[in-house]
Amino acid sequence: MLAIVLMGPPGAGKGTHAKWMAEEYQIPHISTGDMFRAAMSSGSELGLKIKAIVDRGDLVDDDLTVALVRERLLQDDCKNGYLLDGFPRTLAQAEAFQEMGREIDRAPNLVLNLTCPDDVLLKRIGGRRVCPTCGASYNIHTMKPQKEGICDRCGSQLIQRKDDNPSSFEIRLRNYYASTEPLLDYYRRQGLLKEFDGTEAANNLKIELETLLASYR
Ligand code: ADP
Ligand code: ZN
């Protein structure tokens, strides 16, 4: 059984690796960032509030985030595992998740951390282009789509995320080191943490991850 939490700074490759893992192991990919972006585009009052927070690079309120994840994990497709991408991001979220996970029988059994130095992150985020339709991610320097500006998977026009600008990125990175990185110790102490080098070429890292995950199936 794979109940995975995927961690790492913004740009470490969480989204890229989450996509194939979810497909290969048939577990739902639950990205809180994607969930918030969906709420943002709905135009609801709550969505607009979330948009202001996300666009400037700040973190959404813990209680709201935990409630959203709880509801998602309760859905039937999470019974046999899941891949959480972007949650938990604060100690308060991790502690609430610990309790809630036990309560609804959805505790994680593996925490993957992708490491990556700041200069690489900055370069990746600056060149990142995403597909608003299918969520695929590209990079104009290193992971170009076959046709410039067009998604290989679904043909949509690629966009740059609004929070992928230098000032929002700086805030995201600061929040990561202040609030999220300390969680690594929390999960290390529980014996759940496995670390990987996020600067490695995606296909090499994929093989390493597959080797580890084979022993969890
Ligand atoms: P990245 O990992 O590249 O920063 P995500 O797509 O995971 O991007 O998240 C985008 C934004 O969504 C975050 O900067 C934050 O504003 C919000 N967000 C996502 N997950 C959480 C969370 N667990 N708690 C609070 N805010 C979150
Ligand atoms: Zn697409």
| Percent with pLDDT over 70 in the chain | 100
Count of alpha carbons within 13 angstroms of residue 37, beta-carbon side: 17
* pLDDT above 80 (res 72): yes
Which pLDDT does position 95 carry in this prediction?
97
Which pLDDT does position 146 carry in this prediction?
97
Using CA positions, which residue lies closest to atom 18 of ligand 1? Answer: 33
Which pLDDT does position 164 carry in this prediction?
95
CA 211/CA 187 separation, integer angstroms = 21
Could you say which of 19, 161, 188, 217 is catalytic? 161
Measuring from each residue's beta carbon to the nearest atom of ligand 1, which residues come in under 6 Å? 10, 14, 32-33, 36, 53-54, 57-60, 65, 86-89, 93, 163, 172
Of the candidates 53, 24, 78, the one whose C-alpha atom is nearest the C-alpha of residue 213 is: 24
Phi, psi dihedral angles at 143 (to 5 degrees) = -135, 60
pLDDT band at 217 (very low <50, low <70, confident <90, very high): confident
Which pLDDT does position 135 carry in this prediction?
87
Which pLDDT does position 139 carry in this prediction?
93
Q: Answer yes or no: 161 catalytic.
A: yes
Per-residue pLDDT averaged across 169-189, rounded?
A: 96
| ∠ Cα 192 187 181 (to 5°) | 130
Per-residue pLDDT averaged across 62-91, rounded?
A: 97
Could you say which of 51, 106, 124, 128 is catalytic? 128
Please return the burial class of 63, using the count of CB atoms within 10 Å of its CB with bins 0-12, 13-18 and 19+: exposed
